[in-house]
Amino acid sequence: MTQGLRAYIDKFPSLRVAVVGDFIADEFIHGDTSRISREAPVIVLDFNSREILPGGGGNAAMNTASLGGGVSAIGALGADPNGEALKQVLSRGGVGTGSLYLEGERFTPTKMRIMAGGRNTSRQQVIRVDHERQLPMSSSLEARVLDALEALPGEGVNALIVSDYGLGVVTDAVREIVGRLAGKMIVSVDSRHGADAFKGVTAITPNEEEVEALVGYVPDEARLDEAGNTLLERTGARAVLITRGSKGMSVFENEGGRTDIPVYGSDEAADVTGAGDTVIAAFTLSLASGASVPEAAEIANRSAGLVVMKRGTAVVYRDELLGTLEED
């Protein structure tokens, strides 16, 4: 089996992928613990450094690039320091940003994490502050996003990833075009709030909590089949890939039943931040390379097993993924 998987991974550099949706700035503030404040019973951090990393659709795009695929971003950011910094980081990571628009009336969604530690200890996240709210796009900005999507087939794009965090980029008009594009290329959807609003796409990739929100009950082992098949029926998707944490993944196909894939590597994850973005990037590239749904899920599972052993918002590299095949 591993030789077959290698053949698909070897095709990644020949593929072109677009990512549309919500691009988020993951801001990390690093500090050294020094003392307890006299103002309140909280620790005081001595500021060390600050960095902006791509989250949301940005992390999916960065993982696509690190796995070898050509990738471009379609979306909207605020014309603010975080938006400009995020766009620069994406460009340096090999992501095309010509259709990632900055607009003065918007602000860039930001998740700020305060990381504390000492000289001889690893840094731990002590608090997260989210600057997020849904902002509808202006009509002119939405038109630019729609035009960029409409142009994808003529640009030789093989696959589209939709990263929908409910922050205003994925509108009804965007969903309509996404549905049409599904007849021309691989379309994978990662939606935090409404994956079942996408009809006829190739695949959706919810986690267990998102499945519960969609179907209205806990997708435990007794009802997992029911949940997976319900989502297949609602969406008309070719596949539903449910990520299940330490239990690995379960993938449902509209023609092939259910396949369970145990977690790859250790089930003691160091950090699950952004793991879903890695999954959808690897899964989409694999489908676009000709892999079957179970084969694509196996490649995505290996990618997830690698990325959760890295702290913070991270990516998996193609050489690392190929290295997992050498171990078998």
| Cα–Cα distances in angstroms (integers) from residue 292 to residues 34, 208, 239, in the given order | 53, 23, 10
Identify the structural domains of the chain with CATH numbers, from first to last.
2-25+53-110+132-326 (3.40.1190.20)
Model pLDDT, residue 270: 53
Give residue 323's pLDDT: 93
User: What is the C-alpha to C-alpha distance for residues 264 and 248, in angstroms, rounded to an integer?
Assistant: 7
pTM of the model: 0.94
Q: CA dihedral in degrees (80, 81, 83, 88; nearest 10)? A: 140
CA neighbor of 26 nearest in space, from 48, 49, 50, 55: 55
How many degrees, rounded to 5, is the angle at CA 265 between CA 262 and CA 270? Answer: 115
With CA atoms as reference, report the closest residue to 99 among 81, 77, 80. 77
CA distances from 264 to 190, 209, 297, 325 (A): 21, 21, 11, 12
Q: Which tokens sit at 160?
A: 């589209």
Q: Is 190 a catalytic residue?
A: no
Please identify which of the residues 32, 277, 319, 328 carries the catalytic annotation: 277
**DSSP line for 152-181:** TGGGT--EEEEEE-SSSSS-HHHHHHHHHH
> What was the pLDDT predicted at 306?
92
User: CB–CB of 191/197 below 8 Å?
Assistant: yes
Cα dihedral 199, 203, 205, 206 in deg (nearest 10) = 30
3-state DSSP assignment of residue 207:
strand
CA dihedral 226, 227, 232, 233 (to 10 degrees): 60
Q: Which of 280, 314, 313 is nearest to 297 (CA)?
A: 280
Cite the DSSP H helix spans in the chain. 2-10, 57-66, 81-92, 139-150, 172-181, 208-215, 224-235, 275-288, 293-307, 318-326
Q: What is the pLDDT of residue 311?
A: 75
Q: Please give the chain's pLDDT, 328 residues, in tens.
A: 677 899 999 999 999 999 999 999 999 999 998 889 999 998 899 999 999 999 999 999 999 999 999 999 999 999 999 999 999 999 999 999 999 999 988 999 999 999 998 777 778 888 999 998 777 899 999 999 999 999 999 999 999 999 999 999 999 999 999 999 999 999 999 998 889 999 999 999 999 999 999 999 999 999 999 999 999 999 999 999 999 988 999 999 998 789 999 988 766 655 566 788 999 999 999 999 999 999 999 999 999 999 888 877 789 999 999 999 887 6
